[in-house]
Amino acid sequence: MSKITMNLENLGLGNLSGMDIYAKQDRYLSKQSSGSDDDFDNKVAFKEKDFLLDKTIQCPVCGKKFKTKIVNPDIIKYDEPDEDLRPRYKGVDPLKYDAIVCTNCGYAALSMFFNSITSTYSKVIRDSISANFVNTFKDEDTYSYEDAVLRHKLVLLNAVMKRAKDSEKAYTCLKISWLLREQALTVSRSDMGVGTKLYELKKEEIEFMAKAYEGFVNACNSEVFPICGMDKPTCMFMMAQMARMIGKRKESIKLVNDLLKHRSINEKIKSKALDLKKSLEE
Say if residue 5's pLDDT is above 70.
Answer: no
CA distances from 95 to 4, 72, 235, 237, 263 (A): 21, 13, 18, 20, 31
How confident is the model at residue 255, as a pLDDT? 97
How confident is the model at residue 45, as a pLDDT? 59
How confident is the model at residue 13, as a pLDDT? 80
Question: What are the residue ranges spanned by the domains of the chain?
Answer: 9-14+25-165
- pLDDT tens, residue by residue, 249-274: 999 999 999 999 999 999 999 999 99
Q: With beta carbons less than 8 A apart as the criterion, state whether 8 and 14 touch.
A: yes
DSSP 92-159: --GGGG-EEE-TTT--EEEGGGTT---HHHHHHHIIIIITT--------SS--HHHHHHHHHHHHHHH
Say if residue 25's pLDDT is above 80.
Answer: no
Q: How confident is the model at residue 27 (pLDDT cuts 50, 70, 90)?
A: very low
What is the distance between the alpha carbons of residues 275 and 139, in angstroms, rounded to a whole number? 44
How confident is the model at residue 15, as a pLDDT? 72
How confident is the model at residue 139, as a pLDDT? 87
How confident is the model at residue 176, as a pLDDT? 98
Q: Which of 146, 217, 206, 212 is nearest to 174 (CA)?
A: 212
Q: With beta carbons less than 8 A apart as the criterion, state whether 260 and 277 touch.
A: yes
| pLDDT average, residue stretch 49-62 | 96
- pLDDT tens, residue by residue, 138-196: 889 999 999 999 999 999 999 999 999 999 999 999 999 999 999 999 887 777 788 99
How confident is the model at residue 40, as a pLDDT? 47
Q: How confident is the model at residue 69 (pLDDT cuts 50, 70, 90)?
A: very high
How confident is the model at residue 110, as a pLDDT? 97
| pLDDT average, residue stretch 84-96 | 94
- pLDDT tens, residue by residue, 197-249: 999 999 999 999 999 999 999 999 999 999 999 999 999 999 999 999 999 99
- pLDDT tens, residue by residue, 123-137: 999 999 999 999 999
